[in-house]
Amino acid sequence: MPSRSTDASFSMEDFAKALEQHDYEFQKGKLVTGKAFSYESDGALVDIGGKSPAFLPIEEASVRRVNDVSAVLPLDEEREFIIVREQDADGRVTISLRQLEVRKVWERLADLQANNQSVQVRVTGMNKGGVTVDVQGLRGFIPRSHLVERENLEALKGQTLSATFLELDRDRNKIVLSNRLAARTVNFSQLEVGQVVTATITSLKPFGAFAEFDSTTGLLHINQISKNYVESLSSLLKVGQEIKAMIVDLDEGRGRISLSTRVFENYPGEAIEDFAKLMDEAESRQERAKKNLLG
């Protein structure tokens, strides 16, 4: 029967050998550099300087879906990877390009948000609440209320939209964006008080009409239709009707554009008496109306 000291000696030697076989410099989460030297059906073998080659699974090759690892990782090209699984029984670690790319994408998006910049996204799907989008390889969401085109969501699939950030939460993997705010930001820089626009009435309210032009929306308040009191808004305007109106106020902070047709009137109440004529002559009356508006 072996002595207790022999057992102890054997276990210590065995432990020492185990330590020798394990590369403790290659821990999970560590960044390493390496070169792919062989492709397998489900990934690639990469030399990262360890006793055994590292393995890059095909699903960890990119933030975007790939069917061929060689398309994103040529042989003998030095790249940076992150270790996502420590050594298996064969001493092989699992590495990832995707998770490193994801980290960098989040950093880029945070910079865009901090600088109030927009991002280009591609619509990938839809539900009753809005559309899902591809944001540089990550999944984002645009609520229906924050889309310029809110009626036919199916038609948006595959389209590229400009969007700004409503919420960016890396811990919860949550990206919520607005297409309308991005369009409004661009449009505000192109608009000025005194400008005449051609707009389409999108809705009628007791206080006035909302009209859309150039992917943004302005308000034609009932008091801005005519210098005289308008008793029946629906008798003058219909949803879908095209009108010409002058921008009389821009409030970018609140995202408000105020429109007016009363500025075109030659006399109080003309818009009520003959709105069609007012629209026909709106552009020819623009200079006088602008001068009166701006003084």
The CA distances from residue 60 to 1, 57, 68, 95, in Å, are 52, 5, 12, 8
- Cβ contacts of residue 286 below 8 Å, gap of 6+? 196, 246, 264
Mean pLDDT within 134-149: 93
- What is the pLDDT, as a whole number, of residue 4? 45
**148: pLDDT confidence band, cut at 50, 70 and 90?**
confident
Spatial distance between the Cα atoms of 40 and 29, rounded to a whole number of angstroms: 24
Give pLDDT tens digits for 155-185: 899 999 989 999 999 999 999 999 988 877 7
The CA distances from residue 76 to 34, 35, 39, 66, in Å, are 8, 5, 12, 19
Spatial distance between the Cα atoms of 186 and 148, rounded to a whole number of angstroms: 13
Residue 112 main-chain phi, psi, to 5 deg? -60, -45
C-alpha closest to that of 237 among 193, 281, 206, 192: 206
- Say which amino acid occupies 280: D
Are 100 and 32 in contact, with CB atoms under 8 Å apart?
A: no
pTM of the model: 0.57
Angle, CA 293 vertex, CA 289 and CA 295 arms, to 5° = 110
- What is the pLDDT, as a whole number, of residue 58? 94
Are 33 and 89 in contact, with CB atoms under 8 Å apart?
A: no
- What is the pLDDT, as a whole number, of residue 10? 54
- What is the pLDDT, as a whole number, of residue 190? 83
Indicate if the pLDDT at residue 3 is higher than 80.
Answer: no
Domains and CATH numbers, the chain: 4-96 (2.40.50.140), 116-184 (2.40.50.140), 191-294 (2.40.50.140)
Give pLDDT tens digits for 7-46: 445 566 655 555 455 555 778 889 999 999 999 989 999 9
Mean pLDDT within 266-271: 95
The two tokens of residue 165 are 């950030």
Spatial distance between the Cα atoms of 154 and 147, rounded to a whole number of angstroms: 13
Mean pLDDT within 86-114: 91
Strand partners, 135: 138
- What is the pLDDT, as a whole number, of residue 27? 86
- What is the pLDDT, as a whole number, of residue 51? 84
Map residue 49 onto helix, strand or coil.
coil
Give pLDDT tens digits for 187-235: 777 889 999 999 999 889 889 999 988 767 889 999 999 999 999 999 9
Spatial distance between the Cα atoms of 140 and 112, rounded to a whole number of angstroms: 15
Spatial distance between the Cα atoms of 72 and 203, rounded to a whole number of angstroms: 50
C-alpha closest to that of 290 among 260, 251, 250: 260
- Cβ contacts of residue 30 below 8 Å, gap of 6+? 82, 83
